[in-house]
Amino acid sequence: MPLVSVVMPVYNSAATLGAAVRSVLTQTHADLELLVTDDRSTDSSMDLLREFAERDERVLPESAPEQGGAGRARNLAIQRARGDYIAFLDSDDMWLPEKTEKQLAFAAEATAPLTFTSYFKMDADHDGESTEWVPNGRVIRARGHVDYRAMLVRDHIGALTAMYDRNVLGTRLMPEMRKRQDYALWLSIMRDGADARGLAEPLAVYRAHQAGSLSSNKLSLVQYNWSLYREHERLSVPRATRALTGAVWQSLRNSRV
């Protein structure tokens, strides 16, 4: 059975962290490790992680040497990983119990080194557990096949559903960017020739942030997307403009779900 390394960055997430961690530990595919990097939280997040680690040896928390943002926190976790696969989950989201098992089977059947799934959206104040989740009809649908060209026009991969095969792709880190590090990673993998396959079944739950927060204002990501297209992907101004238009359109469409 393949070992799955689950990467989770944490910063002041005590209110939602418990449900996120439990959603990993209750996976039907139990051969996994949860690599958590706390980005110098000032709340009780690290204390909570230590409690989980005492009860389950698969939980492996570590405090970042200095605050560096989510991308650096993820990279610190990836560098500790021992698994055959690297998967991602943020500390305010959840996986449904069969997510890992079904995605591994899908990846093997599709012979795809990078896979992702559809996912549900929940309200910011949702306080339930993944094992109690009732489908609500708010679904972001996964596209069946995504290549580099399609990915430039729109980020089709929800980071909370992404998983890549280290045996095929090697250990891939996220670029050191303030935001959109996950998108940059998917692009770099696809630029090197690996397409992504999407599983239609929703297998994770994304927490929609409160209206007015930085995370809920998708248009605030315009400058980060532009920097990604121009500096990281080195697109021409016309190509970057077309890509940015697609990214904004997707963000506005997803926000309506």
CA distance 198 to 115: 6
Dump pLDDT digits (tens) for 203-226: 999 998 754 333 445 556 777 788
Residues 124 and 165 in one domain: yes
| Contact of 236 with 254, CB cutoff 8 Å | no
CA distance 42 to 152: 37
- What pLDDT does 219 receive? 59
Residues 163 and 206 in one domain: yes
CA distance 37 to 170: 21
- What pLDDT does 243 receive? 77
Q: What is the average per-residue pLDDT within 71-77?
A: 95
Dump pLDDT digits (tens) for 53-64: 999 999 999 999
Neighbours of 111 (CB within 10 A): 9
For the chain, percent of residues with pLDDT exceeding 70:
92
Residues 207 and 222 in one domain: no
Does the structure show a pLDDT above 50 at 136?
yes
Average confidence score pLDDT of the chain? 90
- What pLDDT does 236 receive? 86
Residues 176 and 109 in one domain: yes
Dump pLDDT digits (tens) for 1-24: 899 999 999 999 999 999 999 999
Does the structure show a pLDDT above 90 at 167?
yes
Residues 82 and 169 in one domain: yes
Residues 143 and 249 in one domain: no
Residues 197 and 226 in one domain: no
143: helix, strand or coil: coil
Residues 101 and 150 in one domain: yes
Question: Per DSSP, which regions of the chain are E strands?
Answer: 4-10, 32-38, 59-63, 85-88, 94-95, 114-122, 139-140, 145-146, 163-165, 196-207
Domains: count for the chain: 2
Q: Which domain holds residue 205?
A: 4-211
| Contact of 101 with 201, CB cutoff 8 Å | no
Residues 161 and 185 in one domain: yes
Does the structure show a pLDDT above 90 at 227?
no
